């Protein structure tokens, strides 16, 4: 008895209009943490997953769990915008909230 490979269904999360808007979003290659303490990372590179140290803790924001690159880019954009007025340590909570919102969209 042979087993057939499991096929994971794919779907479009966003309309073509939404995709065009997301494609235009600008995310800096390096996100600077202006409120960083002397022992905190001063910036994070925004390619791939984000790893940084803030408030005595190591953080990793795992962007690989998104279904499509548009979800990933939108989440990165929202977290980057959040970082402007907030401490780096709060990015993890923002990421989890944005990720949940984007998955439900």
Structure tokens at 71: 């979800």
pLDDT (tens place) for every residue of the chain, 105 residues total: 444 444 444 557 788 999 999 999 999 999 888 877 888 888 899 999 999 888 888 988 888 877 788 988 998 998 888 777 766 666 766 666 655 555 544
Nearest-10 crossing angle of helices 91-104, 69-83: 150
Q: What pTM did the predictor assign?
A: 0.74
């Amino acid at each position: 008895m042979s087993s057939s490979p499991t096929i994971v269904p794919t779907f479009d999360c966003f309309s073509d209009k939404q995709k065009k808007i997301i494609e235009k979003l600008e995310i800096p290659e390096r996100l600077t943490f202006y409120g960083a303490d002397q022992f905190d990372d001063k910036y994070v590179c925004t390619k791939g997953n984000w790893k940084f140290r803030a408030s005595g803790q190591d953080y990793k924001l795992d962007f690989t769990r998104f279904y499509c690159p548009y979800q990933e880019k939108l989440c990165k954009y929202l977290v980057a915008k959040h970082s402007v007025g907030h401490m780096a340590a709060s990015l993890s909570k923002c990421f989890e909230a944005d990720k949940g919102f984007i998955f439900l969209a």
